[in-house]
Amino acid sequence: MSKEDLFAKIKENLVETLELDADNVTLETNIVEDLGADSISLMEFTLALEDEFGIEISDEDAEHILTLGQVVDYVSNKIN
């Protein structure tokens, strides 16, 4: 799966989980600072990614992933 396709799927997931306007979400978007995600939203997003891509994201790894671009890179490394 290309990074562009991966970004599209992850963005769609994030937009649904946080009930956002998709136009406001880019690779540089900081999930907490720019979108105001709280710990429950982050947990829901993480669980949705795990289900979608069949991966496991440790709490420690999740703490260091701040932007959507970092999410794309992380998932890409896990599935490839």
Question: Running DSSP on this structure, what letter comes out for residue 30?
Answer: B
Residue of 23, 34, 38, 59 with catalytic role: 38
**pLDDT tens digits, 41-52:** 999 999 999 999
The model scores a pTM over 0.75? yes
**70 pLDDT above the threshold of 90:** yes
**80 pLDDT above the threshold of 90:** no
**pLDDT recorded at residue 65:** 95
Q: Is 38 a catalytic residue?
A: yes
**pLDDT tens digits, 22-37:** 998 999 999 999 999 9
